[in-house]
């Protein structure tokens, strides 16, 4: 058992050392912070180099902060969603002309239409993003959408325009990251 005297000594030492430790810790925090910032800077640099290689090889296209890519395979809409998610992304969803153009690159390269991340809305003859948000940009082909709700998915033609289409067709898998 600890004698009361020893207990008080230990308690005193702890209360004396604790502020010292805290002061030391706080003193070194900026250093740890600097090292962290340096590590983050290096990782960002490595990532931007890798992105440069992928762009040089035309394996990805980019617009704004988004990156688009394909594996060159075709699949129906449901499988496309799954494949893109498995890759850590989602199905290509153009939100502006720049993104539409970046997706179009692959549609032209593989000469194959691609499903987009747009689906029929519960509101008749309207379409929306997969998360339910309404479209703020569209690029429908003339006289589209034409399916009157029967065509629940949307594909991109080789001129970049959109067509509502049944979801069971084989289309180029284009994902966004």
Residues of this chain that bind ligand MMA (CB under 6 A) = 144, 146-147, 151, 163-165
Q: Cβ distance 124 to 160 under 8 Å?
A: no
x/- letters, 132..151, toward Ca ion (CB under 5 A):
--------------xx---x
15: tokens are 């209360």
Site pattern 111..130 for Ca ion (x: CB under 5 A)? --------------------
DSSP 55: H
Q: Is 164 in the site for Ca ion (CB under 5 A)?
A: yes
- Give the burial class of 133: count Cβ atoms within 10 A of its Cβ; 0-12 exposed, 13-18 middle, 19 or more buried: exposed
Taking CB within 5 to 8 Å according to partner kind, which of Ca ion, ligand MMA, none is near residue 99?
none
Which of the stretches 5-13, 32-40, 57-65, 156-164 binds Ca ion when contact is defined by CB under 5 A? 156-164
Q: Looking at beta carbons only, is 8 or 166 nearer to Ca ion?
A: 166
Q: Least CB distance from residue 42 to ligand MMA, whole Å?
A: 49
Q: β-pairing, 171-176 with 90-91? A: antiparallel
Distance of closest approach, residue 73 Cβ to ligand MMA, in angstroms: 21
Which residue in 164, 71, 25, 172 sits closest to 113, CA to CA? Answer: 172
Residue labelled with tokens 């709700």: 149
CB of 94 to ligand MMA, least distance (A): 18
Residues 113 and 76: their CA atoms lie apart, in Å, by 11
Tokens, residue 117: 């991340």
Judged by CB under 5 A, how many residues of this single chain contact Ca ion?
Answer: 5
The tokens of 40 are what?
């983050």
Cβ 152 to ligand MMA, closest distance in Å?
11
Q: Maximum distance among all alpha carbons in the chain?
A: 92
User: Smallest gap, in angstroms, from Cβ of residue 75 to ligand MMA?
Assistant: 18
Q: Which is nearer to ligand MMA, 89 or 147 (CB)?
A: 147
CA–CA gap between residue 116 and residue 175 (Å, rounded): 9
The contact set with Ca ion (CB under 5 A) reads 146-147, 151, 163-164
């Amino acid at each position: 058992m600890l004698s009361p005297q020893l207990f008080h000594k230990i308690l005193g030492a702890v209360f004396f050392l604790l502020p010292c430790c805290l002061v030391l810790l706080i003193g070194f925090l900026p250093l740890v912070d600097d090292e962290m910032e340096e590590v983050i800077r290096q990782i960002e640099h490595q990532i931007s180099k890798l992105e440069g290689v992928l762009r040089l090889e035309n394996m990805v296209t980019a617009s704004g902060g988004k990156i688009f890519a394909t594996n060159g395979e075709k699949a129906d809409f449901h499988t496309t969603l799954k494949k893109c998610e498995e890759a850590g992304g989602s199905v290509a969803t153009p939100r502006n002309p720049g993104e539409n153009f970046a997706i179009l690159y692959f549609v032209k390269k593989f000469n194959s239409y691609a499903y987009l991340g747009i689906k029929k809305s519960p509101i008749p003859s309207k379409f929306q993003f997969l998360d339910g948000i309404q479209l703020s940009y569209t690029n429908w082909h003339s006289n589209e959408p034409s399916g009157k709700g029967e065509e629940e998915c949307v594909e991109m033609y080789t001129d970049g325009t959109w067509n509502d289409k049944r979801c069971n067709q084989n289309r180029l898998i284009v994902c966004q990251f």
